[in-house]
Amino acid sequence: MIEQDMTLVADRLYRAGYTEPRLRQFWGGPIASALVRNNAAPAIHFCQTVLESAQTQMEAQEPGEAPQRFDEHLATLTMLFHFHREISTETARAALGDDAFDIAVDSGLLVTSSRGTTDDGDAISNAEVGEPGTVSAPFAITPYDLPVGVPRGFRPGDENLYLVSDHGTLINPDVLDGDFVLGLGGAGRTLVSLTPRDHVSISADIGTGCGIQALLLARHSDRVIATDIAERALHLTGLSAGLNGVDNIELRAGSMLEPLSEPVDLLVSNPPFVITPRTTVANFEYRDGGMTGDRLVRSLFTAIPDHLQPGGRSVCLGNWETTSAVDAGPEAWVTDPDTSVLVIEREALDPIAYAETWIRDGGVPRASEDWNAATAAWIEDFDTRDVTEVVFGYVIMHKSEGTSTADNDAPTIADHTIVGNGEQPSSVFKTRVRTTSAIANNPHGLGQFIATTFALRSWLATAGAEEIANTIFTRSPDLVEHRHHMPGESDPNSITLEQGIGFGQVFDLDTALAGFVSVADGSLTLRQTAVALAQLLDVNPTALEDQLIAQVRQLVTAGALLPVNEGKQE
């Protein structure tokens, strides 16, 4: 019953304005920006000023006058759950209300202080002495404003989620404990945006941590399995589930996929992918896999297809190494013949820059002896494998439906022509791309964009030159063309095409491809357009068609051009 009651705590937090949008409004842009830089001091000072001002006003108010305490309540809850400060029990009760306060204490979200000891040395509780005392929050409760694409509308206020985690480096100057449970970070937010949100029967969150992925999967899954090797992480995920009224998550202890005994429709994972030397360097359970190099993500990605239902999908994040001898990535690790793999590389760091990133993340002071020793250990570890760079990226998989010819849900992707031996050509593909441009505006969510381009790649895997030539294409409506002229010149010296959605990629166009894109309005096949352009440019139509087929393939994989009807005959 405590789980059901815990929703009252979340309701009081929400009513007090303890949400991301309200907090930004509460303390303003400069303080919000400082928090993004992991500097909590301005926000703490602001909240302390609000509390001191409220106390002064209360002391000065006339008897019987109703106090205005909204800002005080918000500052109180923020100091407790965001900044790990002790607050008087009286002030915390006023902010939460008696019932929610008692539930928070009973569930371990708040801890009351003792006021002294008896003659026998036993602690005297606040209740025993009738004195308010103080309370503190052993865990952070962080509000999260849900992004576009995540289902909502189940109850008032559910556009906001509350996550329970350990208090981190925002307020803690020391090196974190090894069993620290990380709250929602940049990688977690990225995985949220990448995950497809259509309804599934059963989904899994592998290495759940604070439980953010599992909590969101619960909104469009009948069942969710959340695994983690750390019992502490599972406990905090359970607290988050109770706060948010989620009751369809099954918590399973164990390493990565080991607790997963049944295949699932959707699997997501933000695993402990950080590559850390297996030496005296501090290891953190939430981020370090405990294996040499990239072996953890390699073993995870290789095994995922065996845990997917036919038609099942997975979305994972990871780091992997590139060496002077091997340039292949996760697309080469997954050998299952029925599973397509799209690897999107988002960042590549040299070994020294990578070491700096994660030594700093662990809270080690720069230029200290620990910093120098850790740096040396990282460099020596990478040298043993001749690592030239470490890549961060997304790994998306889709297991085919078996004998079905419809390997995707895209309405514009038709069945493909039977090949000469009577077999259907496979739409399974395995590819890796590097896309480091900043993510653009995606009104339907980045996950929807990637799902579309994944389906387009599945079609291209079977579409031969003749099929593409007889396909009608239309350009995506978000495209913007830029023509660059030298002063005084009438003809452009370069033409570029910029995406407004997806990853905001920019493509260089030659005159012929620019002409093709300009008339790609869903009325002509590629072959028909090539003939017309060849006459205009006075070139060989067959050669131009071959050139456009190769160029159009590239724009289709990026979602810039879309097939309207495949295989239309003239």
pLDDT tens digits for range 49-108: 999 988 787 666 656 554 557 799 999 999 999 999 999 999 999 999 999 999 999 999
460, 438 contact by CB (below 8 A): no
Measured between alpha carbons, how far is 217 from 197 in angstroms, rounded to an integer? Answer: 8
Given this model, what pLDDT does residue 293 score?
A: 86
Given this model, what pLDDT does residue 1 score?
A: 39
Q: How many residues does the chain have?
A: 570
pLDDT tens, residue by residue, 490-539: 788 899 999 999 999 999 999 999 999 999 999 999 999 999 999 999 99
Given this model, what pLDDT does residue 174 score?
A: 66
Measured between alpha carbons, how far is 164 from 144 in angstroms, rounded to an integer? Answer: 11
Q: How far is CA 187 from the centre of its chain?
A: 5
Average pLDDT, the chain: 87
Task: Record the tokens describing residue 199, joined without a space.
Answer: 């309804």
Given this model, what pLDDT does residue 410 score?
A: 38
b/e for 424-448, b at 16 or more Cβ within 10 A?
Answer: eeebbbbebeeeeeeebebeebbbb
* 430 or 418, higher pLDDT: 430
Confidence (pTM): 0.86
Average pLDDT over residues 191-211: 95
Kindly tell me if the per-residue pLDDT of 376 is higher than 90.
yes
How far, CA to CA in Å, does 567 sit from each of 186, 340, 383, 446, 543? Answer: 42, 23, 52, 29, 20
Question: Which of the given ranges, 322-326, 410-414, 531-535, has the highest pLDDT on average?
Answer: 531-535
pLDDT tier for residue 420 given thresholds of 50, 70 and 90: very low
Kindly tell me if the per-residue pLDDT of 394 is higher than 80.
yes
Given this model, what pLDDT does residue 425 score?
A: 59
Measured between alpha carbons, how far is 506 from 80 in angstroms, rounded to an integer? Answer: 46
Given this model, what pLDDT does residue 484 score?
A: 86
pLDDT tier for residue 210 given thresholds of 50, 70 and 90: very high
Task: Record the tokens describing residue 300, joined without a space.
Answer: 């995870």
* 361 or 375, higher pLDDT: 375
Paired sense of beta strands 480-484 and 200-206, if any: unpaired
